[in-house]
C-alpha cells in the first residue's frame, strides 16, 4: 500500500516536472520546482482524503480535495496580482490549475488521464510558442516620435530598451525643443514587440508622449 502511494507521488512529480520544464525553457514564472510541488501536494492530499473516507464512512472523501481547489485559486490570484500584465498572470494561474488537476487525477488513480492531460498541455504550450515566434518574425517598420524632458538618461534608457527587445535601428534623429527633446526613431520590429516598446517607453521617467506610425 505504501509503495503504491510512493509510486503515485513519483508519477505526479514527473508529470508536474514535464510541464514545469517547458515553463523553464520559456522562462516563465511558474517553473520546474513550483509545478512539481503543486502536483505532489495535490496528489498527497487527494490520497489522504480518499484514505480518510475508507477509514470513516462518515467522513467526506472530497472535503480535503475541495480545499485544494481553494488553495490553488489563491495561488492563481496571487500570480495574477504579481504579474505586470494581466495576460501573463492569467496564463500562470491556468498552468497552476492544470498541474494541480493532474496531481488530483494521479492521486485518484486516473494515471492515464493525468498523463494525457500533461502531454496535451505541453503540446498546446509548445505549439502556441512556435506560432507566436512565426508571427514575431514577420518584421514591420514603425516610426516613433518621443517627447521627453531634458534628461540625458532618457536617451540611454531608450537605447537599453531597444537592445532588450532586439529591435533593429533604421534611422534616428534627436531635436532639442523648448522643454526637452523630441526623438524620432525608425525601427524594424513585429507588431507584438512594437506594443511592448511603446509600453516600456511610456514607463520611463521624463517621457511625456510617444507617437507610433506603421510605415
Whether 104 has a pLDDT exceeding 60, the answer reads: yes
Kindly state the average pLDDT of the residues 106-128.
91
Would you list the DSSP string of 174-195? EEEETTEEEEEEEEEE-HHHHH
Whether 108 has a pLDDT exceeding 70, the answer reads: yes
**Selected residue with higher pLDDT from 143 and 86:** 143
Q: Region of 214 please: left (phi>0), alpha (psi -120 to 50) or beta.
A: beta
Kindly state the average pLDDT of the residues 130-139.
68
Whether 193 has a pLDDT exceeding 60, the answer reads: yes
Which domains occur in the chain, in start order?
A: 2-135 (no CATH), 140-214 (3.30.70.1150)
CA angle 99, 100, 101 (to 5 degrees): 90
- Give me the pLDDT at residue 158, please: 81
Dihedral over Cα of 148, 150, 151, 156: its sign: positive
- Give me the pLDDT at residue 12, please: 94
Whether 117 has a pLDDT exceeding 60, the answer reads: yes
Whether 198 has a pLDDT exceeding 90, the answer reads: no
In terms of residues, how long is the chain? 215
In percent, how much of the chain has pLDDT > 90?
A: 21
- Which range, of 18-22, 126-130, 152-156, averages the lowest pLDDT? 152-156
pLDDT tens digit sequence for 23-79 = 888 777 678 888 999 999 999 988 888 887 777 666 666 666 777 777 777 776 666
Tell me if residue 207 falls in helix, strand or coil.
strand
Whether 167 has a pLDDT exceeding 90, the answer reads: no
Measured distance CA(81)–CA(4) in Å, rounded: 38
Amino acid at each position: 500500500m505504501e509503495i503504491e502511494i510512493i509510486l503515485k507521488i513519483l508519477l505526479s512529480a514527473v508529470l508536474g516536472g514535464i510541464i514545469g520544464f517547458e515553463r523553464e525553457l520559456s522562462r516563465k514564472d511558474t517553473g520546474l520546482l513550483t509545478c512539481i510541488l503543486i502536483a505532489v501536494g495535490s496528489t498527497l492530499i487527494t490520497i489522504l482524503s480518499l484514505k480518510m473516507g475508507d477509514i470513516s464512512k462518515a467522513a467526506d472523501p472530497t472535503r480535503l480535495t475541495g480545499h485544494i481547489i481553494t488553495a490553488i485559486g489563491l495561488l492563481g490570484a496571487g500570480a495574477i496580482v504579481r504579474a505586470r500584465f494581466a495576460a501573463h498572470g492569467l496564463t500562470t494561474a491556468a498552468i497552476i490549475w492544470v498541474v494541480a488537476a493532474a496531481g488530483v487525477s494521479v492521486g485518484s488513480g486516473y494515471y492515464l488521464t493525468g498523463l494525457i492531460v500533461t502531454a496535451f498541455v505541453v503540446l498546446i504550450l509548445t505549439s502556441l510558442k512556435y506560432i507566436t515566434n512565426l508571427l514575431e518574425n514577420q518584421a514591420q517598420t514603425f516610426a516613433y516620435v518621443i517627447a521627453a524632458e531634458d534628461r540625458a538618461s532618457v536617451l540611454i534608457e531608450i537605447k537599453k530598451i531597444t537592445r532588450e527587445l532586439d529591435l533593429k535601428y533604421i534611422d534616428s534623429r534627436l531635436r532639442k525643443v523648448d522643454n526637452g527633446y523630441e526623438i524620432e526613431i525608425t525601427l524594424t520590429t513585429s507588431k507584438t514587440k512594437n506594443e511592448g516598446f511603446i509600453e516600456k517607453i511610456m514607463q520611463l521617467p521624463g517621457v511625456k508622449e510617444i507617437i507610433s506610425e506603421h510605415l
